[in-house]
Chain A
Amino acid sequence: MEIYCNDEHRLIRSTVREFAEKEIKPIAAELDESEEFSIELTRKMGEIGLFGMVVDPEFGGHGFDVLSYIIAVEELARVDSSQAATVAAHNSLGIGPINEYGTEEQKKKYLPDLCTGEALWGFGLTEPDAGSDSRGTKTKAVLDKGEWVINGSKIFITNAATEITLGSTVQAITGDKDGKKEYSTILLEQNVSGFKAIPMHRKMMWRSSNTAELFFDDCRVPESNLLGKLGEGSKIMLSTLDSGRLSIAAMGLGLAQGAFEMALQYANERKQFGKPIAKFQAIAFKLVDMATKIELARNLLYKACWLKETKQPYAKEAAMSKLYCSEIAKEVADEAVQIHGGYGLMKDYDIERFYRDQRLLQIGEGTSEIQRLVISRYIGC
Chain B
Amino acid sequence: MKILVCISNVPDTTTKIKLVNNNSGYDKTGVQWIINPWDELALTRALLLKEEQGSPITEISVINVGTKDTEPTLRKALAVGADDAIRVDAEAKDAYYVAAQIAEVVKNNGYDIVLCGIESSDYNGSAVGGMLSELLDVPSVSSVSGLFIEDGKVKLNREIDGGTQVLATETPFVAIVQKGIALDPRIPAMRGIMMARKKPLVVLPPADIEALTEYIDYEMPQAKSACKMIDEDNAGDMIRLLHEEAKAI
Contact = CB atoms under 8 A, between A and B. Distances in A.
A14 B190 contact: no
The B interface, classified by DSSP as helix, strand, loop or mixed, is: helix
Interface string B65-94: 000000110011001000000000000000
A63 interface: yes
A64 B190 contact: yes
Interface of A: 7-8, 10-12, 14-15, 18-19, 22, 47-50, 53, 57, 62-64, 72
A11 B76 contact: yes
A62 B194 contact: yes
Contacts of A10: 72
A194 B198 CA distance: 49
A47 B75 CA distance: 20
Given A10-B72, A18-B187, A49-B190, 9 more contacts: A11-B76, A11-B188, A12-B193, A15-B79, A15-B187, A48-B187, A49-B189, A53-B190, A62-B194
Given A7-B72, A11-B76, A19 B187 contact: yes
B197 A62 contact: no
Contacts, number: 46
A14 B194 contact: no
Question: Interface residue tally of chain B, by bracket?
Answer: 10 to 19
A53 B34 CA distance: 24
Contact of A15 (B184, B188, B197): B188
A14 B194 CA distance: 15
B7 to A, nearest CB: 14
A367 to B, nearest CB: 32
B204 to A, nearest CB: 20
A99 to B, nearest CB: 16
B35 to A, nearest CB: 11
A6 to B, nearest CB: 9
B193 A8 contact: yes
Interface in B176-205: 184, 187-191, 193-194, 197
Contacts of B13: none
10 contacts: A8-B75, A8-B193, A11-B188, A12-B190, A14-B32, A18-B187, A22-B187, A47-B189, A49-B191, A62-B190
Contact of B72 (A11, A53, A57, A63): A11
